Amino acid sequence: MASLNHELFGEISYDLYWSGKQKVKIFGQERIVILSIDGNEEGEFQDAQKEAYINFVGNMENMITKIENAIFDYYQEVYMEYRDMVGEDEADRIAPIIENKEEMGKLVEPTQLTIRRVRKNGIRRIGLLFNCTWEIEHGLAVKIEDEEIVEVGFQDIVL
């Protein structure tokens, strides 16, 4: 497995994609997540990927606030459906009724920040992946394009 100390991404290693570590503070909790970067074995990355990462990290507090709000809004749209699916006994554990976004920290855990390759359209793409209590199989993801949140849903929206 190849590894390098990249000037921007830090210590990363290659195994089909480059991975390292990234500190993220979300829902009041500081976490270390996997930093996953699409790139070739030589450790060459697109300028737009670097730019996406710089813009995200440089404005992380503001971006995280937007992500928290987007996740909370998404949860408000879907939680009743999950409560109905699991039944009364499991509902409060899997998809509890919550009043504010701060309570989301008990339901979601960030696992990965992914920096995707830029396609011909030139759009910078980042995904933030989470485990969550209500969707164990598909997880949760926030898709970010050109520093704007464009979608919240299953992890496959960014994978």
The β-bridge partners of 148 are 145
The mean pLDDT of 92-114, rounded to a whole number, is 96
For residue 60, CA distances in Å to 6, 23, 67 come to 20, 10, 10
Query: In which band, very low, low, confident or very high, does the pLDDT at 88 lie, cut at 50, 70 and 90?
Result: confident
The proportion of the chain whose per-residue pLDDT surpasses 70, expressed as a percent, equals: 100
The β-bridge partners of 36 are 19, 114
Q: What is the mean pLDDT of the chain?
A: 96
- pLDDT for res 69: 98
Query: In which band, very low, low, confident or very high, does the pLDDT at 101 lie, cut at 50, 70 and 90?
Result: very high
Per-residue pLDDT tens over the stretch 56-83 = 999 999 999 999 999 999 999 999 999 9
- pLDDT for res 89: 87
Q: Distance between CA atoms of 69 and 109, rounded to whole angstroms?
A: 15
Residue 128 pLDDT greater than 90, yes or no:
yes
Decide: residue 64, CB within 10 A, 0-12 exposed, 13-18 middle, 19+ buried: middle
The mean pLDDT of 47-52, rounded to a whole number, is 96
- pLDDT for res 23: 97
Per-residue pLDDT tens over the stretch 7-37 = 999 999 999 899 999 999 999 999 999 999 9
